[in-house]
Amino acid sequence: MTSSSACAGGWDADVVLRRRRPVAAWCAWAVGLAVVTAAALSALLAWDPRVAAQIVSEDQTIEWLQVALLAGAAGFCLVAATRRPPALDILLVLMFAGMIELELDLDRRIFGVPVIDTRFLMSPAVPLGIRLLVILVLAGLAVAVLAYAWRRREDLWREARIMAREPWGRLLLAGGLLLGLVQLFESRLNALLPLPRYFLEESLELLAVLYCFVALAWRARHVKTGGPDAPGSRSRPGGVSG
């Protein structure tokens, strides 16, 4: 079968190869980042367990590195929101901001207790008016985000489908999934292996955040260079760009 007849029949070798390369690319990045992260942290653990335990403690190196990577990922999303339909990027920025807050425990630093904890509602150390105001702000923010997502649901669905096809999108999804699993099994992870406290949890969180940062940096590069994720470069069936 000639290439012209293949195109006429809906098959294009170039399109097939392009579809295979993204799969290999995001898998290679995922495995490579996992290997590098595991090797670096394992080497540190073998060299000096006390130092390894210290850097995964609260307010130490790994936590601040995660904050920096999350801030960078949010920055990539803010830039992308000016060049493409912004709905997905705005939600990603809000998600990364929430993750930064969780890493820094800003609410606990300010009020002495997390605001999502029921103890906050009963805390006599925080004036009742402040507690009610915080609750109203959080509830209003949640309603606003849900309303925004509902109004932009078509854009979100379209961007989500694009993301699922792109290598950066799959790497981002892998990071989000890994982060969710770590949060879900946090207490079990800390007791799973004879490692310093929080070592396994913080290591996996760092890997997940690295996935997110690299994925969005990857997308930013494609947008800048006119790659497959650049506006106006969507491929039509048969490999013809529109």
- Domain total for the chain? 1
In a domain, 45, yes or no: yes
In a domain, 7, yes or no: no
Residue 117 vs residue 129, higher pLDDT: 129
Q: Is the pLDDT at 8 greater than 80, yes or no?
A: no
Q: What are the pLDDT digits (tens) for 39-95?
A: 888 898 889 889 988 998 888 889 999 999 999 999 999 998 887 788 999 999 999
Q: What pLDDT was estimated at residue 185?
A: 87
In a domain, 156, yes or no: yes
SS3 string, the chain, reads: CCHHHHHHCCCCHHHHHHHHHHHHHHHHHHHHHHHHHHHHHHHHHHHCHHHHHHHCCCCCHHHHHHHHHHHHHHHHHHHHHCCCCCHHHHHHHHHHHHHHHHHHCHHHHHHCCCCCCHHHHHCCCCCHHHHHHHHHHHHHHHHHHHHHHHHCHHHHHHHHHHHHHCHHHHHHHHHHHHHHHHHHCHHHHHCCCCCCCCHHHHHHHHHHHHHHHHHHHHHHHHHHHCCCCCCCCCECCCCCEC
Q: What pLDDT was estimated at residue 232?
A: 43
Structural domain span for residue 53: 16-225
Q: Is the pLDDT at 6 greater than 50, yes or no?
A: no
In a domain, 85, yes or no: yes
In a domain, 184, yes or no: yes
In a domain, 143, yes or no: yes
Mean per-residue pLDDT over the chain, rounded: 80
Q: What pLDDT was estimated at residue 149?
A: 94
In a domain, 89, yes or no: yes
Q: Which of 21-30, 106-115, 202-211, 219-228 has the highest mean pLDDT?
A: 202-211
Q: Is the pLDDT at 161 greater than 70, yes or no?
A: yes
Residue 44 vs residue 18, higher pLDDT: 44
| Lowest pLDDT segment from 14-23, 67-76, 153-162 | 14-23
pTM score > 0.85 for this model? no
* pLDDT band, residue 129 (cuts 50/70/90): confident
In a domain, 230, yes or no: no
* pLDDT band, residue 20 (cuts 50/70/90): low
Tell me the mean pLDDT in the region 138-147: 94
